[in-house]
Amino acid sequence: MKCPKCGFDSSDNLNFCGRCGERLHTVGDYAPEEPSASAEQNRKPQSASRSDGMAIIRRFLTPQLADKILSARGKIEGERRQVTALFADLKGYTPLSEALGEEAIFKVMERVYEGMITAVLEEEGSVQELTGDGIFALFGAPIALEDAPLRACRAALALQNKLKVLGEQLERELGVRPLARIGIHTGPVIVGTLGTDLRMEFKAVGDTINLASRLESIADPGCVFISATTHRLADPFIVCSCVGERKIKGKKQPQQVYRLESIKEHAVRFDAALQRGLTPLAGRSEELDLLHHYQEKVGRNTLHLVLVIGEAGVGKSRLVHEFKERMQSRRVLFLQSNCTSCGSSISLMPFIHLVKDLFRIQDDDDRSVIKRKLTQGLELFGMDSAAATPYLMTLIGFHETGNALRGLDAKIVGERTREILVDLLRNRSRLTPTILVIEDLHWIDPASEKLLGQMAREKGQMPLLILCTTRPSFTSPWSLLENVREMQLKPLSRESTMHMVRALLDCDTIDESLARVIFQETGCNPLYTEEMTRFLLENGAIRRLGRTATCEFSAGEIEVPPTVLDLLQTRVDRLQEEPKGVLQIAAVIGQRFSPSLARQVSELGDSFDRHLGELEKLGLIFREQAEEQVLYRFKHALLQDAVYNSLLQERREELHQAVAETMERVYTDRLSEWAHTIAYHWGNTRDIGKAVQYLVMAGEKSYWVGAMEEAHERFCKAVDLIEAEPGCVDDLFIADVLLKWTLVFVYRADFKSVLSLLERYLPRMETLGDKKRLSLILSLLAGSYVCVGRGDKAKPLVERAMKLAEESDDLLCIGHAARVLAWLYNYWTSDCGQSDTMVERYYNQAIECAGQTNDIFIFSDITSLMANHLISRGRIVEARAFCSKFIELGQRFRDNRFLSQAQSYHGFINFRDGRYQEALENAEQALQLSPDRLDDLCALAVKGGALARMGKVQEGLEILHKVRDDIVENKFVFLRAPVDMYFGAALVLAGQIQKGVCYLEDAIKYWASLGNYTVPTTTHRILGDIYRWMALGKMKLPFGIVLKNLWFIVRTLPVANRKARRHYQEVVRSARDCHMPSPLARGLYGLGVLSMKGKEFEKARAYLEEAIQIAEGEGLCFAEKVRKTLASIEKCKR
């Protein structure tokens, strides 16, 4: 039967058109032919049920939806969707049915349903339920719609219009006028079919359905109420009035509600774009020429880094491709890698890909093959293969068991690995000018970002162009470097856009109607343009007339995708179940996936390649040739996200488990290399034990390449899973995880987290019966208490740790306990004699254990302790010698921590000796070498103090203020000592005299309360100097500063001499008792100057002579100042 509206030839057993939903005849007019007796006997009951089911499906669903359900044999797998739900019912149905009677109300509802269903079908919605007096419909499921909210709004208004016409008829015929209430809401639901052939229903479940129903119940008769979400999505196309906030049953907060009035005439999305303001459009020739210019500079042995920045889909990858094509005729090596969203927590991921590609390492290569390839390649590039191979093997995922890395901690391994990668690129680029492309930099891991920064700062000859693509959300930390350039990529021009469309359609001309649709709906974004063109072509909206492409509908008539995500979901929906299943597996594996891995997960056998080819042909994925290995990649990350997010949790977990188990089988001998990926997949299943094991394995790998942030994230997630699922691993495993994670915390200077973690687990660790592990945990816990200034809490813990270590006769445990005891006695004891003795004792014990166990962590920590001990006590000669030794060790181990700390300690020494320019230079060098946060703070403390003393008071004070705030916030109490002294003195120099003095006096009380004697001694000396300057009138203050501190000055001047003498006397007393030569010399000098002022010349001579003897013995340049003052005594006598 032909449809009277559109002419579609529908099946005779349909009441409504299969294309447009128009009624073909009245329900009462149609009476099917009675089947013959023989036919009735031959018909199977199941077939009858199936036939009836098909009729029902085709009657109430659009042709596309009916075809999908039937092709799926009645079962559409559940998935997560964003849909628009519409509810409509008649006002006053119950009294109406009572007044009309059963037969009359049946005929009325038959005509009402006809109008409702037709309105829904005309907008490609699906009727979910006839509710007795109304209808429930969905837009966007199970078939995705590009503009579901707008379609629902149009259907609602069409439904009201149909009921208005029908109401006029019914009022004339029966004296009744039915009015409908309609509610619409857009949001996420779970959709799928439930049941069997006997009874099958397509269901949508979720709060979205409930809210739409509630909106319908509060709507005024004859009106359409829509939610704020639907209003926001359809706003450019509809006219609404705000009803205000309404209390909705089941919702805690009132909901904003709008009344739908009409659809805007000829509204298109381009109008909304004009209102927002269009960005300038540009072609790509200028950008390509600029890249070529940078490549020519690289040819002159200079490294350049270029960032191509643009929104998703703007054409960054296409620009790189075109540039690569342009370089084909030149003698240039083109290397490509990329970052991924799940790889942002994988240390050096793009460089791992780079190493594999450069040395042609395949996934099925075993350890020996990989080692051979690395060795041969390194020798070819002129590098020391014996030295570099172990680090690259560790980077790939093979932890070296030989002697090459033994004794080196993670920081050293990480730094050395990065150095080797830089050397590798330097040597390779010297053979052939090289272009290194790293795409999607917005997903870069911190270690790779640091390495790129290191390369960007390279000063040597390196003919290398680093070309990176990223989204605007990425903030470049190197943008101010002279060899770094940023290139902003804008949308295409209209001319370029049309050139792209002509190439996609293989035609010469695009008519105005199609061009208008493309321009208005894509904004000339290349990705949107390509996907829109393919969508229109696949849906028959584009017609060819010779070599000209035209659009069947005008921009105002055709409903185009509102976003690229909806468009992609629509394309995925059109896939058959098996190729769609392949695409879902690929989405779970990742944006870039191995076809062999996906094939084994799918278990499809020979048909897999056919389905993969179909997906490639449709442009959903594309092939990549990585040397001898073929990989596939999603066309863009947005497509992968759309497919992955549509999977229900149960199905997603099944696929992740299948991928993880397959990878375990395939990479049995290379699990460490793939641990991060396998951990990711197990982490998305319910097998928590497996997830934890691989997370820890991945964390260890990150630790050993020095990527502490990544290691922290992995250990943190592992512990979170352990706590969420008690019993998933045993307690010994937990203890080892805690020890590894704690070392990461120590490297990150996060002592508060160490305390929180270990205190929480200590009772559990006590029950293990493992003395070694318990000793190490107690030492690490005590060490953190030392660092936050709680020596009282640290002492019993570390003493018990030492006892357990000695009972176990374990050198590593003894060494850790000894280093913590040395720090404890260095800072938190008021008995200076005991402090010196115990520090020396435990220093020697820790050094011996470090030497025998070859533990670089203990060696580094205890060496730092001794330098700190000597400097804080003013033993300058010994301290300088120790710092020189520190530098030798840093050069020997190639450890920047040694070198950075040595420069900071030299800075502290020079500051104490008044060599502020040298101290500043030390601080700058330390900052350049600094590998972590604590070393940064040490260097900045020296820098701030030196700047303040050199006359740049405000700059120095700002630095010290930030450092002090960081220290206080994170409780780095042991580092607070020099900062307190420098900060107080800087406040005085800045003219905040009273505030500075009060700060220094409070510092003395604070440190004395902690049991420390070195900081109060030095602080007394600083206060003595301040009061001496006031007493002698050497404080030359501007008038404004005098006014600001007038009351303090007036009150202090009469007693300044006495106060200065008291502070110096305290310095001399304490420094003599505690063997602190430098503070003693300065205290004696202060007393000598004050004695000269009081004309006590013999006393002054005695003070100054002792001061000069000490100063010269310590090699202080301060000695010259003392000598001049001593020589002036005779002059003062006259």
pLDDT in tens, 682-710: 988 888 899 999 999 989 888 887 788 88
562 compared with 722, residue with greater pLDDT: 722
pLDDT at 755: 92
Q: Which residues, at least 6 apart from 274, have a Cβ–Cβ distance to it below 8 Å?
A: none
How confident is the model over 177-207, as pLDDT tens digits? 778 899 999 988 887 765 544 444 556 777 8
- pLDDT above 90: percentage of residues in the chain: 27
Is the pLDDT score of 320 beyond 60? yes
- The helix/strand/coil state of 972 is coil
pLDDT at 547: 87
Q: Is 478 exposed, middle or buried (0-12, 13-18, 19+ CB in 10 A)?
A: middle
pLDDT at 693: 92
Whole-angstrom CA distances from 292 to 325, 327, 429, 462, 880 are: 12, 9, 17, 17, 52
Q: Is 1057 exposed, middle or buried (0-12, 13-18, 19+ CB in 10 A)?
A: middle
Residue 634, φ and ψ in degrees, nearest 5: -65, 150
How confident is the model over 910-932, as pLDDT tens digits? 998 888 999 999 999 988 887 77
Of 33, 29, 28, 1, the C-alpha closest to 14 is: 1
Helix 1056-1074 / helix 1077-1093 crossing angle, nearest 10 deg: 150
Residue whose tokens read 């909106």? 215
Q: What distance, in Å, lies between the first and last C-alpha atoms of the chain?
A: 132
pLDDT at 775: 95
CA separation for the pair 822, 493 (Å, rounded): 69
CA separation for the pair 139, 121 (Å, rounded): 10
CB atoms within 10 A of CB 947: 23
Domains plus CATH for the chain? 73-267 (3.30.70.1230), 285-488 (3.40.50.300), 873-990 (1.25.40.10), 1013-1134 (1.25.40.10)
Q: Which two tokens stand for residue 564?
A: 């690229």
126: left (phi over 0), alpha (psi -120 to 50) or beta: beta
How confident is the model over 494-529, as pLDDT tens digits? 888 888 888 888 888 888 878 877 776 666 778 777
Q: Which helix (H) or strand (E) holds 388?
A: helix 385-396
Q: Which helix (H) or strand (E) holds 625?
A: strand 621-626
216 compared with 933, residue with greater pLDDT: 216
Q: Which two tokens stand for residue 732?
A: 């010994």
1039 compared with 959, residue with greater pLDDT: 959
Is the pLDDT score of 431 beyond 90? no
Q: Which two tokens stand for residue 145?
A: 């719609």
Whole-angstrom CA distances from 737 to 70, 231, 716, 810, 858 are: 53, 51, 10, 20, 19
Q: What is the DSSP string of 54-113?
A: HHHHHHHS-HHHHHHHHHTTT-PPPEEEEEEEEEEEETTHHHHHHHH-HHHHHHHHHHHH
CA separation for the pair 949, 944 (Å, rounded): 9
Q: How large is the average pLDDT for residues 705-718?
A: 87
Q: How large is the average pLDDT for residues 386-390?
A: 88
User: Residues 255, 256, 262, 268: what is their CA dihedral angle, to the nearest 10 degrees?
Assistant: -110
Of 940, 975, 942, the C-alpha closest to 751 is: 975
Q: How large is the average pLDDT for residues 307-328?
A: 83
Is the pLDDT score of 751 beyond 80? yes
Segment among 52-66, 69-83, 176-190, 569-583 with least mean pLDDT: 52-66
Q: How large is the average pLDDT for residues 888-902?
A: 78
Q: Which residues, at least 6 apart from 776, have a Cβ–Cβ distance to it below 8 Å?
A: 739, 801, 812, 813, 816
Whole-structure pTM value: 0.64
Q: How large is the average pLDDT for residues 1080-1099?
A: 90
pLDDT at 563: 46
CB atoms within 10 A of CB 396: 21
Segment among 319-333, 946-960, 975-989 with least mean pLDDT: 319-333
Residue whose tokens read 């709060």? 207
How confident is the model over 752-769, as pLDDT tens digits? 899 999 999 999 999 988
Q: How confident is the model at residue 273 (pLDDT cuts 50, 70, 90)?
A: very low
Whole-angstrom CA distances from 803 to 612, 666, 813 are: 64, 47, 10
CA separation for the pair 166, 118 (Å, rounded): 13
Tell me how many degrees the CA angle 940-945-948 measures, rounded to the nearest 5.
Answer: 125
CB atoms within 10 A of CB 296: 11
Q: How confident is the model at residue 308 (pLDDT cuts 50, 70, 90)?
A: very high
Tell me how many degrees the CA angle 196-197-203 measures, rounded to the nearest 5.
Answer: 55
- The helix/strand/coil state of 593 is strand
Whole-angstrom CA distances from 348 to 31, 339, 445, 660, 714 are: 73, 9, 7, 22, 15
CA 424 to chain centre: 28
The residue count for the chain: 1134
pLDDT at 848: 93
pLDDT at 931: 73
CA separation for the pair 171, 163 (Å, rounded): 11
Rounded to the nearest integer, the mean pLDDT of the chain is 82
How confident is the model over 28-59, as pLDDT tens digits? 333 333 333 333 333 333 333 334 444 444 55
Q: How large is the average pLDDT for residues 278-306?
A: 75
